[in-house]
Structure 1
Amino acid sequence: MEVNSSVDEFFLLGLTQNLLKEKVISVIFLFLYFGTLLANFLIVMAIRYSQILQSPMYFFLFYLSFADACFLTTTAPRLNVDSVSEKKAISFNECVTRIFAVHFFGCMEISVFVLMSFYHYVAICKALRYTAIISHTSCDVLVILAWVGSCIHSSAQIFLALRLPFCGPNVDHYFCDLQPLLKLACMDTSVIKLLIVSNSGAICMVSFIILFISYVVILFSLRNHSAEGRQKALSTCTSHFIVVVKFFGPCILIYTRPPTTFPVDKMVAVFYTIGTPLLNHYGMKK
């Protein structure tokens, strides 16, 4: 496909134009990044090489940790480097690549959230049929479908980005995404904005509705369990749902509203690009 762009590189404006605040942000996010990356690496290695962590739940945790680490790596390192750099330039090709990576691993993370809610539903509500429904083969198939779906979603984002002609290089964000890039486009982007809402917005909203319904059904079914079983399941599901809300809340706010951008969008994006991978260790991995 021919790239229709008059701009060879972009300049990311970052979270703030204040130099002191940029340095503080760089230090904070550097510690958060390496701490979260190390935690995810340890989880992946523990599940990969442990003989007792081979249940379907840990199978999904493996991919959640992997998606967390990759999703965080698509944004945090660049933010740290730009915070201490005078020229925050990024080539057009790298920007497009990062759009693909952000949406690929973000969609993968959403898919794993849904798969884990499905696992909890079967384990709690369909306990007698658990072994028939949840098997290693079915888990493999579900994860493969998640990979394929994430690739299709990300490819759609790239297709839209490559069709845009740009009139300016300054991207008012700390990572490349379609919404801030649309502000630089030299064309009517109303149709593309609608496609973004129907693509990314629909994925966020539909997935959240599925997760919400599944947890409501799970909590409703706990009436038939023992007090100890209810307490354990309620604790797990509550912590998981809190993480889900903190991830999907900002995503829904960004991708499902009427297509436009606001200065606060950058801070909102921090919650799901950097905050959620960190919070997952206290929620989804509990």
Structure 2
Amino acid sequence: MTAIKSAILSTVALVASATVSLAGDIALPSYVKDSGKLPIATTIYAPFSYIDESGKQVGLSVELAQAAAKELGVELTIDQVPFTSLIPSLGADRIKIAWLNASVTEERLKQADFVSWMEDGTIISTLPENKDKYAKRTELCGATVAVQSGTAADFSADQVNEECKAAGLKEFKKDIYPSQQDTVQAVITGRADAYLDDSTSAGYYSQVSKGKLVLTGEVFHKKPIGHIIKKGDAETATMLAAAIQKLIDDGTYNTILAKYGMTSSAIAKPVIYTDVSQLKN
């Protein structure tokens, strides 16, 4: 009886241990399991993470993190870290997760790994009455297009103009402005026919414009956007990917993106990026 009792107790202990280390069917790294907390670091970048008038941290990334922590059955804790310090802080084990909308680039992949949760790219934003007129990017050929200087959209504009030339069409006039707000106002006031911007930013400005601006056409020149983790931290990567997938599957993810006008940047499945070769596929 003693041997049987001992076996039963051992089995119970194993089951209890498994229960502690899993959130539903998501395995938790020891730093989450032992503390009961999901510790993330963010940087202020509206509308993803910012401080509202009441002093509360809010934004798309914050809401997604709150939903992920709830899915994992743990408490969310947030630290503010300057963007340029995030990857060094991961390497030094000062933080575990840089939870934000960071572009997955070859240079960054040499230093850290990523778990994608959105894709970004360039999209056309224009007045509602011009939505069908500029539904294809080559329909911008011959128009006046606003871009913010030095942005990915600025370089995308040059690529689209190459497409115009290749198709035997007139290039569009690229008006360069110093800020996003300037490009938005250029379209609203009629100085430009449309503006090119990152799909995330353009979606947000379309949302807050209260109908003055709409997105049109497909997102082009796409790139993955993700959370950053320490190079080789497979446990954290697997946990994040599983949590994000659950939020995608139950509709929470899309509801949060829709609130900020960013459904055009949604993905169906998170990807764990560990090598630059993944960006070339």
Regarding TM over 0.5, the answer is no
TM-score range (shorter-chain normalised) is: under 0.3
- Normalised TM-score (structure 1): 0.23
TM-score w.r.t. length of structure 2:
0.24
Higher strand content, 1 or 2: 2
The structure where helix makes up a greater share of residues is 1
